[in-house]
Amino acid sequence: MKKVIGWILLILVIFYIGTSPGPAADIAHSIGDFIAEAFRGIGSFFHQLVT
């Protein structure tokens, strides 16, 4: 059952990207910014621990 739900979600994501590439790109960009900022925060934390 989980595999079927996973495939359905994948198909819906592909459909969304195909029909609305602009908003999908904005979402991907926002997720990338969030991940980059999280890693910057972790790096800053460890830098403060060392110094």
Interval 3-30 mean pLDDT: 92
Considering the chain, what percentage of its residues have pLDDT values greater than 90? 73
Determine the average pLDDT of the residues in 15-42.
93
**Domain residue ranges of the chain, discontinuous segments joined by +:** 21-51
Tell whether the torsion through CA atoms of 12, 14, 19 and 22 is positive or negative.
Answer: positive
What integer pLDDT is reported at residue 24 of this predicted model?
87
pLDDT above 90 for 51 = no
For 41, how many CA atoms within 13 A lie in the half-sphere containing its CB?
6
- State residue 49's pLDDT score: 93
Q: Is 47 helix (H, G, I), strand (E, B) or coil?
A: helix
